[in-house]
Chain A
Amino acid sequence: MSIYLNPLQEDFLTELMNIAMGLAASAMSEMINDEVSLSVPKVSFVSRQEVITQFFSQVDGDLAGVSQKVSGALAGELLLLFPSNKSLAVVELMMQDTVSLEGMAGLEQEALCEIGNILLNAVISSLADNINESFVSSLPVYICGSSSHVIPNNGLTNESVLLLQVDFSFSKKSVSGYVVILLNVDSVDVLLAKMDARLASLG
């Protein structure tokens, strides 16, 4: 099944994602005490297989990060991903002022999960609030590996999903990462209905 986003819907969705990532960037900035740069969000309706080919055409090597499932009006998967050779640097950057590196030994994956929990919840909370809906999120899970490993396909490589992606970077430590949201088709219907109602009210 394919859903067509008209230019206005695509614009609205991009702006919703902008606002949502702004909140996440604010939280990131608070954690690392540095400015976070954001790309313009990418919005497209693709198959799960295309998520891998489209997304990972720009990424070299393995990724590490956090995956979280959401259910409710907005249902799907949320991913926070970093190049795997940078993920420890991210944790050090975010924890250095409060917990010593010795204290963090063996807890890098858990720290990354908590970071992902904060950032991904910030994003999905903003999206949900902007369409007056709520959601339930699962506990975050650490993921690491190749593109086909970290991007979930649930055995349904041709299933269509709404892909929302923002790239971000920190100026300290030259770390960059990605927030990827995959919303299933039912959620897209909810989102479009709410957006259309909002656009109609604007005249």
Chain B
Amino acid sequence: MNKKTILVVDDSKVSRMLIKCIINDVEPNWIIVESANGDEALKVTESLEIDLMILDYNMPGIDGLTLAKELKERFPDSSISLLTANIQSATENKARDLGVDFVKKPITEEKIKGILARVK
């Protein structure tokens, strides 16, 4: 199976740990790049090719959808999932309008597997 590179952006270190644990169990050879906020994510991905992005919405600095918009331009063929606790319809609608997959927290193995399946 092809090795993929996944970007995980969430200001919660615990959330990033949970997501990484699940991804490593399911796809131990895939590469995970993590960032705690949008600005850091934009910087760290400057010289990388990203296949899949898992982004939180409420973060310090730019929010997850603003980040998604910028990353979409940089990686137009990549899949983006917004994994968020902010599950109001307004947020979901904005995500759908942007063509971003919308996944509600809490983080579960089933939900992460569903996200990973988008690039398998």
Which residues of A are interface residues toward B (Cβ below 8 A)?
Answer: 23, 27, 30-31, 95, 98-99, 103-104, 107, 110-111, 113-114, 117-118, 121-122, 124-125, 128-129, 134-135, 137, 139
Contacts and interface: CB of A to CB of B under 8 A. Distances in A.
13 contacts: A23-B87, A104-B14, A114-B12, A114-B15, A117-B12, A118-B85, A121-B85, A121-B88, A125-B87, A129-B89, A134-B90, A137-B58, A139-B60
Interface string B1-40: 0000000000111110110011000000000000000000
B105 interface: yes
B86 A125 contact: yes
Given A98-B18, A122-B87, A31 B106 contact: yes
A98 B20 CA distance: 10
**Main secondary structure on A side of the interface with B:** helix
B88 A135 contact: yes
A113 B60 CA distance: 14
Given A27-B106, A99-B18, A117 B88 contact: no
A122 B105 CA distance: 9
Interface in B62-101: 85-90
Contacts of B86: 121, 125, 137
B88 A134 contact: yes
Contacts of B18: 95, 98-99
A98 B21 contact: yes
Contact of B106 (A30, A113, A135, A137): A30
B88 A129 contact: yes
B17 A99 contact: yes
B13 A107 contact: yes
Given A121-B87, A122-B87, A110 B13 contact: yes
Nearest to B15: A114
B14 A98 contact: no
Contact of B21 (A99, A113, A118, A129): A99
Contact of B14 (A23, A95, A122, A128): A95
Contacts of B60: 139
B21 A125 contact: no
Given A99-B18, A113-B12, A128-B90, 17 more contacts: A23-B87, A31-B106, A98-B21, A98-B22, A98-B109, A99-B17, A99-B21, A104-B14, A117-B12, A118-B105, A121-B87, A124-B88, A125-B86, A125-B88, A137-B58, A139-B11, A139-B59
